[in-house]
């Protein structure tokens, strides 16, 4: 299943968007963006929780 992760959806005034398979590798790319561009070092688990809070199932995220 694909997902669209927009930095703007997580409280930043930023046009960064990722789209692809719902996977840990995609989540890690978003985490890297948060750290490099916004100076915030979220854990992967914290980002997964943000995605779950938006209505996605934790079980639907593929371990890659």
pLDDT in tens, the chain (64 residues): 789 999 998 888 999 999 999 999 999 999 999 999 999 999 999 999 988 998 888 888 888 6
| Residue 28, CA atoms < 13 Å, CB-side half-sphere | 6
Place of tokens 């409280």: 11
- DSSP-assigned letters across all residues of 25-56: HHHHHHHHHHHHHH-----HHHHHHHHHHTT-
Encoded tokens for 15: 């046009």
Nearest to 44 by CA among 17, 16, 64: 64
Q: What is the pTM of this model?
A: 0.85
Where in the chain are the domains? 2-57
**By three-state DSSP, how is residue 11 classified?**
coil
């Amino acid at each position: 299943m694909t997902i669209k992760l927009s930095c703007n959806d997580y409280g930043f005034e930023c046009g960064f968007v990722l789209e692809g398979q719902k996977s840990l590798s995609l989540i890690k790319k978003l985490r890297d963006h948060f750290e490099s561009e916004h100076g915030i070092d979220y854990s992967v688990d914290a980002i997964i929780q943000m995605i779950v809070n938006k209505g996605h199932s934790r079980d639907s995220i593929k371990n890659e």
